[in-house]
């Protein structure tokens, strides 16, 4: 088993920075994916973006069924190329924002173009929970967190909690 990495928390600049496009699909990519996978499993998450483990690159993993190796998706340089007009409101949380959950409105269906770990170009159409996870993780690659997408009223409610997280006072 690969070692897991610490998850960066709200307030860490790496979560808000720019993430580099991956140009070389060298041997260093496989261990990074393994470490991210192990980290995600340990944290009982369904998705993880590279900046969440301190790596500012356009890389993310998703798995709507964490126990099922076959449903693990590894995406390099992903971008959404089509989104449905129809939206869904679903409650989200984030491993980088522990203790906070909230309803986020996003497209119900998307098409995502990405490269796999070998650099092969792929596209995937997703709906339901998978479309949700992909949109959440791709936000991370653009420095966006789900709390940015909450209603103004909800953001006002969690303001204090976010300040505590940013100050590293999480209990
Ligand atoms: Co997240």
Q: Which of 32, 81, 84 is nearest to 58 (CA)?
A: 32
Give 98-128 pLDDT, tens digit per residue: 999 999 999 999 999 999 999 999 999 999 9
The residue written with tokens 């070998």 in the block is 118
Structure tokens at 79: 């971008």
| pLDDT interval class at 28 (50, 70, 90) | confident
Give 39-88 pLDDT, tens digit per residue: 999 999 999 999 999 999 999 999 999 888 899 999 999 999 999 999 99
The residue from 86, 137, 164, 170 that is catalytic is 137
| pLDDT interval class at 154 (50, 70, 90) | very high
C-alpha 95 – ligand 1 centre gap (Å): 6
- Residues 145/139, Cβ–Cβ less than 8 Å: yes
> How far apart are the C-alpha atoms of 36 and 81, rounded to whole Å?
25
Residue 3 has pLDDT above 80, yes or no: no
Query: What share of the chain has pLDDT > 90, as a percent?
Result: 91
> How far apart are the C-alpha atoms of 127 and 9, rounded to whole Å?
28
Residue 79 three-state SS = strand
Structure tokens at 70: 């076959």
Active site residue 137: yes
Residue 35 has pLDDT above 80, yes or no: yes
Report how far apart, in Å, the C-alpha atoms of 139 and of each of 4, 17, 67, 171 are: 22, 12, 24, 26
Note if the pTM is more than 0.75: yes
Residue 97 has pLDDT above 60, yes or no: yes
C-alpha 147 – ligand 1 centre gap (Å): 10
C-alpha 25 – ligand 1 centre gap (Å): 25
More confident residue, 28 or 11: 11
| pLDDT interval class at 1 (50, 70, 90) | low
> How far apart are the C-alpha atoms of 75 and 49, rounded to whole Å?
9
Structure tokens at 76: 């390099």
Structure tokens at 121: 């170009």
Residue 171 has pLDDT above 50, yes or no: no
Q: What do you get for the CA distance between the two ends of the chain, in Å? A: 29
C-alpha 137 – ligand 1 centre gap (Å): 6
């Amino acid at each position: 088993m690969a070692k897991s990495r610490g998850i960066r928390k709200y307030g860490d600049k790496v979560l808000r920075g720019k993430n580099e496009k991956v140009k070389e699909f060298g041997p260093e990519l496989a261990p990074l994916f393994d470490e991210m996978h192990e980290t995600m499993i340990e944290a009982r998450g369904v998705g993880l973006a590279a900046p969440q483990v301190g790596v500012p690159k356009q890389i993310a993993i998703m798995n709507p069924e964490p126990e099922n190796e076959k449903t693990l998706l590894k995406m390099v340089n992903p971008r959404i190329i089509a989104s449905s007009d129809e939206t869904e409101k679903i409650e989200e949380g984030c491993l980088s924002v522990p203790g906070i959950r909230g309803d986020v409105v996003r497209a119900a269906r998307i098409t995502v173009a990405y490269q796999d770990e070998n650099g092969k170009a792929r596209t995937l159409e997703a709906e339901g929970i998978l479309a949700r996870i992909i949109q959440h993780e791709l936000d991370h690659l653009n420095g966006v967190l789900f709390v940015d997408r909450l209603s103004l009223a909800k953001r006002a409610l969690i303001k204090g909690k976010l300040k505590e997280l940013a100050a590293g006072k999480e209990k």
